[in-house]
Structure 1
């Protein structure tokens, strides 16, 4: 009996087939069917968002493209393909936000008011205006998408109580983790985060039996930094009443759920449940599958990019469709 291919291997097969059918003769870069030349990375995006992505990423200060934006398994590209079309559809985005947060949202607000000469209701590689996490290097501004904690996507909305809510999104596709971070960077990590990661000065519960070094394993390290970014933005920005993190990943990527930090395994066997349990306000971290998060698109005629998404990422959709 043949072993079932891993999630990563299956996605490489699916994306290779899609690239071969849709991106020839540009596919096959570096001998992989699911890669295109770096200079052709825009072909990795849905045709309907290519110009918008170029405007958004090219405006100053520029947003950095990830190194493998020409790769069929790029999480950054996957995130853009699903979310960037919402940037021009604030009412549809409001309905989607209600679906993923269970909030009652009255309206979407521009997360960036005048980037590339227009408002954006969704943006990407968001780092905020203030260096809350002590990551900037002296004399040099932080870069969006490189060497600073950034949300893969971000949006801002007002709920029916009149509160402004910031939603930061962390997007995963085929990632999986195991080894600890390179210990050579731990001294810098401690210097930056030791005094801002735990209550009363951060999101981790004051009496959680955990030390900072136990979070120096992915995906915990990324989740911690995202949660600190949300917590300190809420605490320090008078325009934000609440900030939360929405973590999205495919349901089939079970390896992503492994508790990679030995010191955290006593709390459970699912990384996202364990991380949530460490927070002073667990409701500020939402973990959801991509399939569940985007199921409503199947019933929303206004989601005109759904057919393209379904064709490009056929395994990222639930078996059952939800009513409108």
Structure 2
């Protein structure tokens, strides 16, 4: 026994020391390795643990061996902090950087834009054609979309209820989740502005303001004119006058609109024809911008009741019909009064 200890114990200690040193150097070498190329997409699926992630990193030859990835994650107390999602890995990242990224949850973000002034049917097409959104909704779902949202406006038509903006989102975001987020943004802005509103005749509830904002959106060429356009409509509502705005007529025409409005279109009664019906339209006619919503609640001061496009993106505003008639002749009819066929 004494002989054993004298001969084999030192040898055993040398072997253990050598193995430990080798393991130590290998681990240090592993920690100091860095990616030689970008990895555009690495996905951690829901329910994955550190073993699953480490094995997949090894299989895809991003980080290996998997055992050292697991050891490093445990030493850094990140093995239970990895978040599901899709990640972009950059050239030069070290194993600790990659694990920190996975623990941060800073996933790849995709973007989809809802333009200002679009109709809901146009928003649907944008979503359907977006390859980054997970498509789950059918045509029938879109027809009843409000009933599928978490909202108190489930019985409303969807027009105007989705905020126009560029939204960022991670992989596997569904079309319904995207619409819910846009709707929530619209609700938040509308309710915030409603709480600090000035009372106006004809604007009895937030939905009325949303309708008015959509009309302002479609009638405004220059952003600086929004407040004045809002004031014209507010003044007309107060006086019980017809709003007489072409975009509402166009909306009411639907597929019959071919690019221009004729006199018979202005005379044909529809729920959206503000030349034949007083007050606001039954629903919004588009998705209004934040600026148009704020203009609806905070119109410019003044007694103007009319406006006409000047041809440069701006409008000319008038207080009286006589002044408005002159502006129409000047800006729309080239100064030829005999061509004027308008009315109040």
What TM-score, normalized to structure 1? 0.25
Structure with the bigger percentage of strand: 1
The structure that has the greater radius of gyration is: 2
Structure with the bigger percentage of helix: 2
What TM-score, normalized to structure 2? 0.24
